[in-house]
Chains A and B, each alone.
Chain A
């Protein structure tokens, strides 16, 4: 009946059914993240170079002129400088304020993530290695922390210790370490069941060596991948706390605080004071999320 067909011949004969096109579209459809990675790179670069490229130092009150307050984007200052993104209520150049705000936001996001990672990874590793009562105690605390909305924990902590860049970082570390501890413990437990660890234990290697030289490097990967998205979470939390007025101090405004300062002028039509820092914040958060999500997918790590 049918002459024999090799694989190649079969490929050709149904190469154009509508269903086939649909199926192939599904396989090929992958969101592009290159744009997000480039955007993220630019934002980080701007933040790092802020002192060099910003037209004005927004922290230096002497260089501000109150006469220039709340100027629309594109206005010129008395001394001939153009405020491309307008000025705020103190007469601060918004572009400069945003560049410095980006710097503060990234600083808080990165350092709190590193701090939370360090504590969480250590706690998770210890819990997985020693098990028993130590594990139970650590995980009870983790469960307790994760049982409460992060914003609430941070708010109450800041209510008692006051505002400041360092204090916001502490608050975010306190909120975020628990998720890393849980992830790290899970990853390390999987790793501990593998034969090479068993071999190392039977070999009589010291526990500390097994934990730091074998368990840690082999199970930290998934935790690091998840932490990229958590940087975005940390930045969001910082912005929120600053917006609520309990975050960074007015002398070192982050993007969140800039938005809060502009919010009251939003209704009177002076949109630029709040909207431009808002755009910067959102670009930062979205690009971090897309890049982090892409990393998570390519390393096939499930989120917490």
Chain B
């Protein structure tokens, strides 16, 4: 177990290092950041002083090492636009994105698992076929298009829900949340649903495939031969087996939910870190882009690690050893 954790830790550090190099080269290496930093009217001397102060006159390798050293201290640069540390800017937006992602994940599980069971237990029935057709749409339709349709239906046509923003928030332990006010929840429903749809489809597909496969297994027939009630056969024998891939995939999808929240947050003007990323791309606010990528990677790595541990806890056959690749 300790060997495994250690190995994963080293692996994670390598991934973060690789990402830092790629992102540094992509964002700082291409184009000249000084163009953005200095107003054109400043004198050449001031300009040179600025370049020196920012370390932009150093060789690329040295610049990278400075960047890396600062990153280790939690300093990923200052936003060109807002003039505050990029990390602070992102962390301030983190709660909004998190509540969106968490609600979307719960929605996907709460809706996806029962529908997947239904479709997997009785694949020929009309509702099951409708569900499976729905998953194809859920997967293949672009996220922004679904968001637009949700707005068109629930906000424009029916007038039930607001189209943009986060609504009223309350502070819990210093973190602003929309989850606890009615107005906040109203604002949260559509973006969360939009973000959840592809995940819901994935859940349904996974659970349906797992269920129909598990139902043909000997252990299910054996449970039935023991006189186990159908409810328990499905709810315990089948579900317990399906839970393993479901939890694993749900965890791994956390990263793509965070990434896809950029689209949903743009459609619904949700003030999360995804919206911040898009805004920063418009304004060429490079430190914020870099900081976003670094923090997102850190998040993915941490979540994947947790998923592995959870996987081992769920499947008695899995022992975490250092030998895994």
Contacts and interface: CB of A to CB of B under 8 A. Distances in A.
Given A156-B27, A236-B140, A278 B148 contact: yes
Given A22-B124, A267-B163, A151 B262 contact: yes
A156 B289 contact: yes
Q: Is the interface of A mostly helix, strand, loop or mixed?
A: helix
A7 interface: no
Given A155-B277, A155-B281, A282-B141, A149 B259 contact: yes
Nearest to B136: A289
Nearest to A153: B259
A289 B140 contact: yes
A289 B141 CA distance: 10
Interface string A240-264: 1001111000000000100110010
B281 A246 contact: yes
Interface residues of A, number: 43
Nearest to A278: B145
Nearest to A262: B148
Interface size class for chain B? Answer: 35 or more
Q: Is the interface of B mostly helix, strand, loop or mixed?
A: helix
A141 to B, nearest CB: 9
Contacts of A38: none
A80 to B, nearest CB: 32
B15 to A, nearest CB: 7
B96 to A, nearest CB: 18
Nearest to A246: B281
B83 interface: no
B142 A240 contact: yes
A160 B266 contact: no
B111 interface: no
Contacts of B129: 29
B260 A244 contact: no
A285 B142 contact: yes
Interface of B: 15, 18, 23, 26-27, 30-31, 123-124, 129, 136-137, 140-145, 148-149, 151-152, 155-156, 163, 255-256, 258-260, 262-263, 266-267, 277-278, 280-282, 284, 286, 289, 293, 296-297, 300
14 contacts: A151-B260, A152-B262, A152-B296, A155-B262, A155-B278, A156-B293, A159-B281, A159-B284, A236-B140, A239-B142, A243-B142, A244-B278, A246-B278, A256-B142
Interface of A: 22, 25-26, 29, 144, 147-149, 151-152, 155-161, 232, 236, 239-240, 243-246, 256, 259-260, 263, 266-267, 269, 271, 274-275, 278, 281-282, 285-286, 289-290, 293
Given A155-B278, A267-B155, A290-B136, 13 more contacts: A147-B15, A149-B255, A149-B260, A152-B262, A156-B23, A240-B144, A243-B142, A243-B266, A263-B148, A282-B141, A286-B140, A286-B141, A289-B136
